[in-house]
Structure 1
Amino acid sequence: MKYSPVCLAIFVGLTPFSSSANQGATHNTSVEVIEVKGSYFNNYKVDQAHGAMRTHVSLLETSQSVTVIPNSVITEQLATTLGEVLTNDASLTAGSKQRNREVFNLRGFELSSSNGYLRDGHQHWSHYQQPIEILENIEVIKGPSSILYGQSGPGGLVNMVTKKPTAKTLFTLGVDVDQEGSSRLSLDAGGSLTDDESLRYRGVLVKQDAKYQHQYQNNEQRQRDRFLGALVIDYDISDDAMVRVHYDRTDDEAGLDTGSWLDEKGNVIGHNKTIRDMSWAFTDITVENIGVDVNYILNNHWQVALGYNEQSFKRQRFESSPKKPAIFLEGDSYTSKPYDRFDDWQFKTAFIDFTGEFTLAGLDHQLLIGANSLDYYYGQRKVNGESINYASDQQEPTRPEISYTTDDSLYSSAYDYYGIYLQDLITLNDQWQVSVGGRYDKQSKEGANNESFLPKAGLLFHPDAQTTFYASYSEGFEPQSSETLEKDRDINHGMKLEAMTSKQVEIGAKWQLFAERLLLTTAIFDITKTGKLITETINGDPNFDTQTEQAGEQRHKGVEVAAQGAINDKLFVMASLMNLAAQYDKDENYQGKTPVDAPQWSASIWSRYELTDQLAVNAGAFYQGERFADSDNTISKDAYTRIDVGATYKTTISGQDVSFRFNIQNLLATDYLAGGGISSVTAGESTSYRLAAQMSF
């Protein structure tokens, strides 16, 4: 077994904390309290993740591994995409980034764009790059979570928690630029609209123009143009009732990049910055979310929360659709199969939660009774153009004269589901707690009805107020239908698919150290999944591009270690390490194989050191071990470590607080391959620089 230097460094750095925590629990010795004079640790360490239990329960009372990435880290890294943020958790590894969207794997399982993401507890269609400027923090909830959210995968969920209105006046202007000429302008404002502060708001505006290092074969740079507008209003109807209304809109247009091509040795064919798509290929997305939430305190023990959200996702994708030949050398010709396509997704989600705290039979209960639902619609129009034969030494062909508007045969699908769930956190005494729950779920869909009951259980032991040991069991499910396979592109479109199911056993521990300034966690998990869809590229078939099959049993076993918070009054860290053993255990075609983009080792660390009250520096390292690029495990991508650094300087200009930030990503100009397969791999960008200024009023 090979150990990366970065993995060893993080593991060695975390080990002393684990040892001291165990000694304190076993011998009940007094622990030296380190007084952190500043308050920045509150921006690095988060003690609750509402999405994990759907109630206000601390992480120490949650029998599940959860990571919360706070807004302070997002800001320090000048992140512009969700993927740049999720690299801070080693349990998440990058998948393909083709077509201006990001794919991630959690504990080695791909997160589905339809059920792998939440926004404020609502199932969220995530077939696009998320507007992270409206996020307060990001909760990574690990392991099957179907009991509370219905359809979801075995790896877990990513819950995006949005910024909320503030009573205090907030007005922040920001601008950042990079060496390619990209720019992003942002405004974040909030405050009270009435003297009694009963009516509050939060608004965010963003205009981004991005240029990428990757280029088309006519030497044009890939570009992106994005606008974001969001508004949230809170109104206190009474001391016991509050209503929240929210709306946001994203307009995002970008040139297409379906990824680099690999040879049989796992090397990029040609230059790693070359885009095989034509320069006229693009995707144009408009996403709108509108909804309302109500919270009402029924009495001293019970409250109810209701939520409703409508998400409209409309996309035009004008593809050149390059197809990699079975044998290809730089300069050879290849076929592009252009088409113009319009997709219309409509997501309507709703929930109602009753939560109560009471004592029964001498035991304290935190009870959740709730229900949620999803109404899904999808429509597609598509027109294909004539195939194009192209080689890089030729002039780029002109954009074909085709339009989806001439397609009068709408392809559509729809389904709905609802679920009823119950969860009870029972406190037996000062040291022991039990968490139990279950869900009944039903999906209504023509040819793919599904009905299920799922259990969940956890046992927690608290030897002292700052330590938790736990064990848990959970299940998940994902109903499938042939519409999962892309029409006119997948040779098996229309075949019958079984529901994917998963089970997990997890044991772990959590410690609060240094006067509760640092949270140390560790977890061991064992997940089995049946029915995974495996899609491979077809070479040589003139009619279809992919072939999807349904696998047998897949098993992922692993260990995670993480630390988050303050080491002392100047040093703050967010570090994690995962060792994963992933393979197909019972499968006719892939027995013993490892899934794509599931490295044995992954690690990350991001740190902040405050030199003075005005000046702070950051340094981070992100490691991905060797990964396979195909399901047959014949082609692999090398391990890599990316180093990022940055610095922030705060000052006052004309009485206004101003901060300047300078970041360098990939400081050592490491050549690396991120997520994706043989004909869709994302080649990492070389060294990049970002400069930002922010003024607060």
Structure 2
Amino acid sequence: MSLKKFLRSPRGQFRLPLIRSFRIVATGPKSPGLRFAEDSCSNQRELKEIPLMKRSVLNPLTTALCMAGIAGLPAIAQAQSDAVAGQPVQTLPAVTITGDREGYQPSSSTTATRTDTPSLQTPQNIQIVPQAVIRDQNALTPSEALRNVAGVQFDFGFNGSMQPLIILRGFPSASMTAMGPMSGMSTYYLDGSKVTGVPINMANVQSVEVIKGPSSVLYGRAEPGGLVNVVTKPISSVPEFSVEQTVGQRGLSRTAIEASGALNEDRTVRGRVAASYHTSNSIRDFVTDRLGAFNGSLAWVPDARTSVTATLDYTDQRYRTDYGVPAVGSRPADLPWSQQFNDSPYLSSAKTASFKLDVSHQLNDTWQIKAKFLSLRSDTSEMDISPYRVDLGAAMAPDQACPGTGNPLCRYYFYVRPNGRYQLDQFNTDLIGKFQTGDIGHTVLLGLDTYTSKKSGTTYFQQISAVDIYNPQLGGTPAFDAAMSMPTEIDDRNRWTSLYVQDQLALGNVFLTGALRHDRTSAIYAPPGTEPNKQSFTTPRLGAVWQFAPNQAIYVQYQDAVSANNGRDTVTRAPLAAERAKQFEIGHKIELFGGKLSSTVALYELTKRNRGGSVPIAVAPFYDTVTIGKARSRGVEWDVSGQLTKRLSLIASYAYTATEVTEDPTYQGKTLANVARHTASMWARYALDSQWAAAGGIFAQGQRQGDVGNTFQLPGYARVDAMLAYKFGLASSKASLQFNIDNVFNKKYYTGSHQFVQDWIKLGDPRTAKVTLRVDY
């Protein structure tokens, strides 16, 4: 049985669910009473309002016990009546007691099942990086947050540090094969909606969820390794205002301001605004990242059954991509840490605006409806210079040629897109019902999903001066000249309309899940005029959980998945079969210390079939996409996070991932690129007292193959980070000063490589010191 909190008053005793962080508000004269509000990592909601008798006071014991509740201990809140017959009624002034959850215990998530199913009863591996971890580690980029999760690794990735290309269980989150070897834009989910090529503003992130394994039954066409869902910060029902400033080495700076709270007396209208600006240079020559962001949300919550939230979001990203270093022999070239060869005279950019509408209404005691609409538009300019050892024959002068040995390297405006446009529209509605049939409990989900995305804009190819990797002469690269370039038009569209149904059955301590989805899809990546590839799919999902103890469960699941649409053969225009996948998984979950510490161990086998592949051709785009193979990933993952003691919090992971290309005319028997067999991480935070805290961690990867041909390897590494924080009062506000050192021992390491190119091996950052001042009003 879960712990409970009790509140006694002259009218009786009230029972409230255990909450880890809350506010107590003595309300005004129109509604005198105590209002308890939960502030969890994923949401905020009022739990109970208790009317006060005549004249009531919170005694000191109440306050102390409530604050103790922040650490997850049961407490008794007692309101004592001082009413005396004949005395006039007095109203208390508003009093607010606030507390922040500092432990690493994961919050609840609805992402895996689209219903509010407890993790112990969900037949899937779900990991959450809470805001407490993000803040302690001062994670300014998505990859810094995701490194805490077992089985997460990284490919090369384009578009700056705010858009990493993530690998889950051996497979990138965007297909690197279906649309040609140079694609690979960051793909993730924003509050449950799929987006591509959009920067993640970490200043507005509440938590990062990783749902491991195929999820296309509930979320549509997606890569089979899993999905990353970024949960943005919620609107508060009580007034909040904060300012945060981070500064660090090499021009690092991030300023973030946010305000949130109720806009009327009865708190039915709530709002939130946030703005941030991030800028950083790099030890790497010419590399820079800038991200300005604004977010505004307005919510109408007339009662506990209904909520409507509208959100406007705008980001302005400017960057110059770090193209890394080439391989020499079987290892990355031994070059100065600063050296890279993209000195484009332009900064690439993405200006993105989105509108999101979320509606939820409890129809009756059985049924609830949820609807979500997202419309996103992004104006892009992709103007990087790509070093590449292969001479593609477009040189206009002798100094632009290269022999193909890796030194010198040819350089190109490689399919740059000066004026691009990305647009996305998605509508989703879920009908959720909870009812009994005899002794069987049902949680039924019926859903409709429509999704449309399109990327447009002429791309250009131009060969420019080559570079000696040991003696580069950079900084004077000529401007892009469209007249000297080869233009290419590509029709890049993806659309689906889907219906899905899921039933979760509760039979005592056994929980069964069955789901089915039917998709009608249309996708194309080809010259204009090419007929889209239209296909329909029906995909199943089955799972079972045996919760053999109140805090433990074992689960098993099978999932089928629809991955990227391969479009059509570049040369023959024949339709290609879509990439598909299937997974078997078994796991064990346990929650310790009253739910403060959770652990998940999972074993899985994941197979992707109909993998697209590319063969070279003599004319633009210089490759042909065909369906040629199958690859498999097998592994063991262990994730643990939460509180070990009142002072000590921990998040740790280990993954063993064995991958193999099982069918392919060229690469059969090879290991998938950028996937280390062993990865591990551990980060621990210790509260020295009520003001001081210290933390540290280690993040390690074994050796990885750098490309699909396994022609070179990225060496393994272990990186150590540390943190020291101090909290103090500042007038009537709370403040904290935090000092982080990343890569304490200045270890030189490599984060990933483009799997089709030997010349783009990305390095990690050297030792970096950061200081953050945060003030909460």
Superposed pair shares fold, TM > 0.5: yes
Equivalent position amino acid for 2:534 in 1: N
Once the 2 structures are TM-superposed, how far is the Cα of residue 428 of structure 1 from its aligned partner?
A: 1.0
Once the 2 structures are TM-superposed, how far is the Cα of residue 598 of structure 1 from its aligned partner? 1.1
Q: Tell me how far apart the structure 2 counterparts of residues 270 and 492 of structure 1 sit (CA, whole Å).
A: 40
Relative to structure 1, the CA distance from residue 358 to residue 92 in structure 2 (aligned partners, 3 Å threshold; closer, same or farther) is: same
Name 1:176's counterpart in structure 2.
Answer: 246
Is it true that 1:623 corresponds to 2:683 in the alignment? no
What letter corresponds to residue 478 of structure 1 in structure 2? S
Change over 3 Å in CA distance of 1:385–1:597 after alignment to 2: closer
Alpha-carbon contact 1:269-1:330 (below 8 Å) kept: no
Which residue does the alignment assign to 1:336? 412
From 458, 464, 467, the counterpart of 2:549: 464
Other-structure match for 2:279: 209
C-alpha distance in 2 between matches for 1:393 and 1:361:
76
Letter in 1 for 2:561: G
Q: Match for 2:512 among 434, 459, 479?
A: 434
| Residue 776 (structure 2) aligns with | 696
**Identical-residue share of aligned pairs (%):** 24
Does structure 2 conserve the Cα–Cα contact (< 8 Å) formed by 1:628 and 1:634? Answer: yes
- SS at 2:282 equivalent: strand
Q: Determine if the alignment matches structure 1 residue 475 to structure 2 residue 560.
A: yes
- List per-residue Cα deviations over 1:156-211 (Å, max 9, x = no partner): 11111111111111100000011212211100210010000001112210012211
Q: CA deviation at 1:674?
A: 1.0
The answer for the alignment partner of 2:171 in structure 1 is: 109
Contact kept in structure 1, 2:679 and 2:701, CA below 8 Å: yes
Q: Indicate conservation of the 8 Å contact 1:624/1:639, yes or no.
A: yes
Please point out which of 325, 333, 349 is paired with 1:268: 333
Of 568, 577, 591, the match for 1:512: 591
Q: What RMSD over aligned residues (CA atoms) do the two structures have, in Å?
A: 2.7
Structure possessing the higher radius of gyration over alpha carbons: 2
Tell me, yes or no, if the aligned pair for 1:469 and 1:508 is still in contact at 8 Å. yes
Quick check: 1:412 aligned with 2:477? no
Is residue 131 from structure 1 mapped to residue 216 from structure 2 by the alignment?
no
Q: Residue by residue, what CA displacement relative to the aligned partner does 1:639-681 show, whole Å, maximum 9, x if unpaired?
A: 1111000111100122321100100000111111111132111
User: Is residue 98–residue 680 contact of structure 1 (8 Å, CA) maintained in 2?
Assistant: no
Change (3 A) 1:410 1:265: closer
Residue matched to 2:140: 80
8 Å CA contact 1:319–1:340 kept in 2: the answer is no
Q: Partners of 1:648 and 1:66 in 2: how far apart?
A: 29
Distance 1:602 1:495 in 2: 41
Q: Which residue of 2 aligns with 1:676?
A: 753
Alpha-carbon separation, structure 2, partners of 1:696 and 1:186: 12
- Is 1:660 matched with 2:737? yes
| Equivalent residue, structure 1, for 2:323 | 258
Q: Which residue of 1 aligns with 2:356?
A: 291
Matched, 1:144 2:224: no
Corresponding residue of 1:48: 108
Partners in 1 of 2:558 and 2:743 — Cα distance?
Answer: 39
Q: Is the 8 A contact 1:322 1:337 kept in 2?
A: no
User: Structure 2 regions of 5+ residues with no counterpart?
Assistant: 1-67, 73-99, 175-183, 391-401, 524-530
Matched, 1:308 2:379: no
Q: Distance in 2 between matches of 1:589 and 1:386?
A: 29
Q: SS at 2:140's partner residue?
A: coil
TM-aligned CA deviation for residue 512 of structure 1: 0.8
| 2-structure distance, mates of 1:52, 1:525 | 17
Matched residue SS, 2:521 = strand
Q: In the alignment, is residue 525 of structure 1 matched against residue 592 of structure 2? A: no
The one-letter code sitting in structure 1 at the alignment partner of 2:193 is H
Stretch deviating more after TM superposition (494-503 or 71-80): 494-503
C-alpha offsets along residues 276-317 of structure 1, whole Å, 9 cap, x if unaligned? 112414211111110211111100111100110001122101
Amino acid at match of 2:260: G
Q: Offset at 1:447?
A: 3.2
Larger relative contact order (C-alpha < 8 A, sep ≥ 6)?
Answer: 1
User: Which position in structure 1 is the counterpart of 2:17?
Assistant: none
Contact conserved, 1:281 with 1:320, CA < 8 A, in 2?
no
**Quick one: distance in 2 between partners of 1:341 and 1:482?**
25
Structure 2: how far apart are the matches of 1:202 and 1:534? Answer: 46
Query: How many matched pairs?
Result: 648
CA distance in 1, matches of 2:765, 2:571: 35
1:99 and 1:257 in contact (8 A); partners too: no
Shift, 1:408, TM fit = 9.8
Counterparts of residues 319-334 of structure 1 (less than 5 Å):
319-325=384-390, 332=408, 334=410
Q: Is the 8 A contact 1:652 1:658 kept in 2?
A: yes
- In structure 2, how many angstroms separate the alpha carbons of the residues matched to 1:520 and 1:611? 25
User: For residue 513 of structure 1, what is the amino acid of its counterpart?
Assistant: L
Change (3 A) 1:347 1:254: same
- Shift in Å, 1:535: 6.1
The code of the aligned residue for 1:78 comes to N
Q: Pick closer, same or farther for the CA change 1:479–1:178 going to 2, 3 Å.
A: closer
Cα offset for 1:362?
2.5
Structure 1 residue 350: Cα displacement:
0.6
2:328–2:406 Cα contact (<8 Å) kept: no
Q: Secondary structure at the match of 1:433?
A: strand
Pairwise CA distance, 1:626: 0.7
SS at match of 2:333: coil
Give the whole-Å Cα distance in 2 for the aligned partners of 1:459 and 1:566: 28
Q: In structure 2, how many angstroms separate the alpha carbons of the residues matched to 1:278 and 1:297?
A: 56
CA deviation after TM superposition for structure 1 residue 328, in Å: 7.0
How has the CA–CA distance of structure 1 residues 591 and 415 changed in structure 2, closer, same or farther, with 3 Å as cutoff? closer
SS of the equivalent of 1:258 reads coil
Q: Deviations over 1:419-449 (max 9, x none)?
A: 11111110111x2111111111111344311
Match of 2:71 among 9, 33, 38: 38
Q: Superposition pairs for residues 339-358 of structure 1, below 5 Å?
A: 339-358=416-435
Q: Which moved more, 1:573-582 or 1:328-337?
A: 328-337
Shift of 1:394: 3.7
| 1:380 and 1:412 in contact (8 A); partners too | no
Displacement of 1:115 in angstroms is: 9.2
In the other structure, the counterpart of 2:664 is 587
1:500 aligns with 2:579: yes
Partner in structure 1 of residue 181 of structure 2: none
Aligned mates of 2:406, 2:608 — CA distance in 1: 40
Query: How many angstroms apart in 2 are the aligned matches of 1:640 and 1:115?
Result: 24
